[in-house]
Structure 1
Amino acid sequence: MGVGKLLVFGATSATGQLIVRRALELGWQVTVCGRRTLPEHSANADIKTVEGPIDDEETLREAISGQDVIISVFGPSSPSPFTNVDVFVPAYKKILATMRNEGVGRIIALSTLSVNDPEDRFSLLRWLLATALWAIAHKVWKAVNDISKVFEEEGDDIDWTLFRVGFLANGPRLRPIHGYVGDGTLGMYLRRADIAEWTLTQADKSPPEFVHRRPGICSVNV
């Protein structure tokens, strides 16, 4: 496809900021959309900003229209049981519907290793972590899994990829690799800078890779 127009949801998050910064370095035409805009994004003439509720149809239409690819790191960001998770499922339903209406066919969205994939094998560590999240922050666990169901049930005609992550860390890029739980290669450690690198590499692939799939990604030493 080549570098084109990219929309980033969740651009105010630590991971989203790295995606925006790296996308600009690579030559993407970047749009950010969210309830608020960071000063460094609004002051940057190379970034188009769309501000509004992420589940608002007019906001989504303005942001999504004309895009080539969407990268979304919008989702539950805290395991706290008090996290408000009610917005995520309705928002993703509207995002997919708006993509369909606007003729935008590609989205790469954040998920977690709490979500199962048919290509996964048993992993005691993953089972323990997912069970702990289910018990301690059930609403967050349910929201993450319900988002996955939205893509599966309502995204048949959309080229979606859910990339699943484990423990996130800051720091310079290492090397992102992808795989599936229990395959002997996928680890639980991932640097946010490697999310930016992996998602933007995937955004530039034509034809798209991992369509209707949920690969896990992790960081390894170069």
Structure 2
Amino acid sequence: MNLTVFGATGGIGQEVVRQALTAGHRVTAVVRDPARLDVTGAALEVFRADLCDPEAIRPAVADRDAVLSGLGPRSRGDAGVAARLTRTVLRAMEAEGVRRVLVVSAGPVGPEPEGDGLLDRGARRIVSALLKDVYADLREMEDELARSGTDWTSVRPPRLQDKPLTGSYRTVVGGFPSGGRFIARADVAHAMLRMIEDPGTVKQGVGVAY
């Protein structure tokens, strides 16, 4: 497949690029600073862009099979960036007639898992209160996806870890795995790539966790 990855210098984005290349896909990595991209490969195109203008990034998404995005806030001070940048990507995609897009959101944006105990529910509510601006940004991003004409999937992980790929995790379409507290960024990337051709994830939020 021909894939475009936004947020390609982030923890999940770089994993998406690396794993996609290993799987034999052609990848366009959209970055602001190419020096921060640690991945190389003959099937990799690095597209330098500032995500302010949909017209500027149309060449990066034209004729692609899917777009994958790791765009999002890296701290509470970045709240607002996910919705704003995703809006630009969606406009470029719609102008080029590209439909499939998968983005990274967060577990607390979706419904609470069924069967979780008081400890998990309490911890989730504390985190949601501390990061309320970040989650509000991600909810707005998901609203933008729902209003778009794309075949979107929002992947919702819990706390992220920098650990090796396992390929072993749980997913729940429209919900979240009960008791899921952690997942490696590498496994989030793995899940995103697996979902590209899964029709059951289209226009859905998907919880993913160990």
Which TM-score band (shorter chain)?
0.7 to 0.9
- 1:126 and 1:212 mapped to 2: Cα distance? 27
Is 1:215 aligned to 2:209, yes or no? no
2:4 to 7, 14, 19: 7
What RMSD in Å do the two structures reach over aligned CA positions?
2.2
Identity of aligned residues (%): 27
**Superposition deviation, residue 92 in structure 1:** 1.5
The equivalent of 2:17 in structure 1 is 20
> What does 1:102-141 align with in structure 2 at a 5 Å threshold?
102-117=96-111, 121=114, 123=116, 124=118, 127-141=121-135
TM-score normalised according to structure 1 size: 0.82
Which structure is higher in helix share?
2
Report how many residues are paired: 205
Question: CA, structure 1 residues 57+127, in 2 after alignment: closer, same or farther (shift >3 Å)?
Answer: same
**Superposition deviation, residue 134 in structure 1:** 4.2
1:189 to 179, 182, 200: 182
- 2:140 and 2:74 mapped to 1: Cα distance? 15
- 2:88 and 2:190 mapped to 1: Cα distance? 27
Cα shift readout 1:96-142 (whole Å, capped 9, x = no counterpart): 1221110111001101012124x954744564345334433332121
The equivalent of 1:165 in structure 2 is 157
- 2:143 and 2:192 mapped to 1: Cα distance? 21
- 2:83 and 2:72 mapped to 1: Cα distance? 9
